[in-house]
Amino acid sequence: MDGCGAPEQGVPLPAGVNLDEQTVLAGKVLAGGTPVGGAFVRLLDSSGEFTAEVVSSAEGDFRFFAAPGGWTVRALHRQGNGQAEVTAAGPGLHTVEVAVA
Amino acid sequence: MSRENVLVSAEWVEQNLETPGVVFVEVDEDTTAYDAGHIPGAVKIDWKNELQDPVRRDFVDRAGFEKLLSAKGIANGDNVILYGGNNNWFAAYAYWYFKLYGHDQVKLLDGGRKKWELDGRPLSTEPVERAATSYTAKEQDASIRAFRDEVVAAIGTKNLVDVRSPDEFAGKLLAPAHLPQEAAQRAGHIPSAVNVPWSKAANEDGTFKSNEELRALYAEAGLDEGKSTIAYCRIGERSSHTWFALHELLGYEDVKNYDGSWTEYGSLVGVPVELGSGKES
């Protein structure tokens, strides 16, 4: 999956976040193509180690402040689980979608 | 120590929602989760606004804790069941805090909100009112709380467990990856600390791993069961989770939580700081 999508509407970044310096991973959790809120979204590092967890918004959005490198985003929900890989070559906004089933 | 003394299952909670003398308390950093739906009958405690001193960097004091619990309708004899988001981080912190002020009948809902939600159990938006009580707290139990001088003195002698993520331990990140990375303190970890991320003590659904798994985890990381242990993280909440695993589940005797954690230590002048992954043992 391409980890460098164009910025789009999602969870607004907090004021003061500098995308020249911060590596932001953001995206949506989907079930059958429909955004899923209330999913537990876990960020795992390149060795599979847990790094952070957030809950997806009502529109299915999630966001992490990470560091350059390869990451796995894994989502848990009553409707099922799923995961996706994303590579952040450097600072900026990197988008990824996670389908649960 | 028996798990039943310190943990309850989601199933138990659902069966005991109406049991007299049992009070469910949701503890979060962001209480919008509670407001959008909570375990029926549960009251909320706001970690930041209700458990922290509004001015100084410290807890609310004994009188403040008494006032808080009285207003929440929690009595000295109540069985308090704590749960929350973030894999029970702040609920574990509150658990430690209840113990600190001498409330013995307190347990955690294993898995917290996450397990409850993944199970599809009921959530309520009904306002919860409990009659006020006259709660009496004890003096803080210093045997479970570590301060900075003790932490510096523990370098190379006691078990120091840094429960942050590997990248925070190594000095690559200053905060968990769901938070912005600006902070004043230096990055790194306390020399001689071993890195056992809090998450290794939990299953994916937020429940604690078995005692056998936990014992193997800490032994493999090089924790000496015969030594005293101090756990720390960034602000003391994730280390409460590990303190719970070591002290309440495994029954290690002398385990303290350093609530000042990296936010304090990484700001101290003149203390040793180590970068990188540290020594593997």
Residues of A in contact with B199 (CB under 8 A): 49-50
Q: Do A51 and B204 touch (CB under 8 A)?
A: no
Report residue B162: phi and psi, to 5°: -95, 115
Mean of pLDDT values over B131-150: 97
CATH code linked to domain B3-140: 3.40.250.10
Total residue count of chain B as it appears in this document: 281
CB A61 within 8 A of CB A38: no
Mean of pLDDT values over A17-28: 88
Q: What is the CATH number of the domain that holds A45?
A: 2.60.40.10
Residue boundaries of the structural domains of chain B: 3-140, 143-265
- According to the model, what pLDDT value does residue A7 have? 45
> Encoding tokens for residue A81?
């689980």
Residue A87 lies in a domain: yes
Residue A40 lies in a domain: yes
The four Cα atoms B75, B79, B81, B82 give a dihedral, to 10 degrees, of 40
- According to the model, what pLDDT value does residue A6 have? 43
How remote is the C-alpha of B166 from its chain's centroid? 19
pLDDT tens figures, A29-85 = 999 999 999 999 999 988 888 888 999 999 999 999 888 999 999 999 998 999 999
Burial of B94-115, coded b for 16+ CB within 10 Å and e otherwise, reads bbbbbbbbebeebbbbbbbbbb
Total residue count of chain A as it appears in this document: 101
B210: Cβ contacts below 8 Å, ≥ 6 apart: none
Residue A5 lies in a domain: no
* B181 touching A (Cβ < 8 Å): yes
Identify which of B118, B178, B180 has the shortest CB distance to residue A54: B178
Q: Do A16 and B182 touch (CB under 8 A)?
A: yes
Residue A16 lies in a domain: no
Residue A76 lies in a domain: yes
Beta-carbon pairs below 8 A across chains A and B: 62
- Taken in order B255, B4, B163, B227, the sign of the CA dihedral is positive
Tell me how far apart the alpha carbons of residues B105 and B102 are, in angstroms, rounded to a whole number.
9
Tell me how far apart the alpha carbons of residues A1 and A84 are, in angstroms, rounded to a whole number.
8
Query: Which of B134, B130, B50, B35 shows the shortest CA–CA distance to B85?
Result: B35
Q: Do B178 and A53 touch (CB under 8 A)?
A: yes
CB A63 within 8 A of CB A88: no
Q: Residue A55, SS3?
A: strand
**Which region holds residue B197: left if phi is over 0, alpha if psi is between -120 and 50, else beta?**
beta
Residue A2 lies in a domain: no
Using alpha carbons only, what angle is made at residue B81 by residues B18 and B96, rounded to the nearest 5 degrees? 165
> Encoding tokens for residue B132?
């006020």
The total number of structural domains in chain A stands at 1
| Fold match flag (B3-140 vs B143-265) | yes
Tell me the catalytic residues of B.
233
Q: Indicate if the pLDDT at residue B182 is higher than 70.
A: no
The complex's ipTM works out to 0.79
The chain A residue lying nearest B203, using CA atoms, is: A50
H/E run at residue B41: none
Tell me how far apart the alpha carbons of residues A7 and B14 are, in angstroms, rounded to a whole number.
43
- Taken in order B68, B4, A40, A86, the sign of the CA dihedral is positive
Q: Do B199 and A50 touch (CB under 8 A)?
A: yes
Tell me how far apart the alpha carbons of residues B65 and B40 are, in angstroms, rounded to a whole number.
24
Mean of pLDDT values over B199-221: 96
Mean of pLDDT values over B142-171: 95
Q: Which residue has the tokens 């590579």?
A: A87
CB B32 within 8 A of CB B13: no
* B14 touching A (Cβ < 8 Å): no
The residue range of the domain holding A87 is 23-99
pLDDT tens figures, B10-28 = 999 999 999 999 999 999 8
Residue A10 lies in a domain: no
Residue A62 lies in a domain: yes
Q: Which CATH number fits domain B143-265: 3.40.50.150, 3.40.50.300, 3.40.250.10, 3.40.190.10?
A: 3.40.250.10
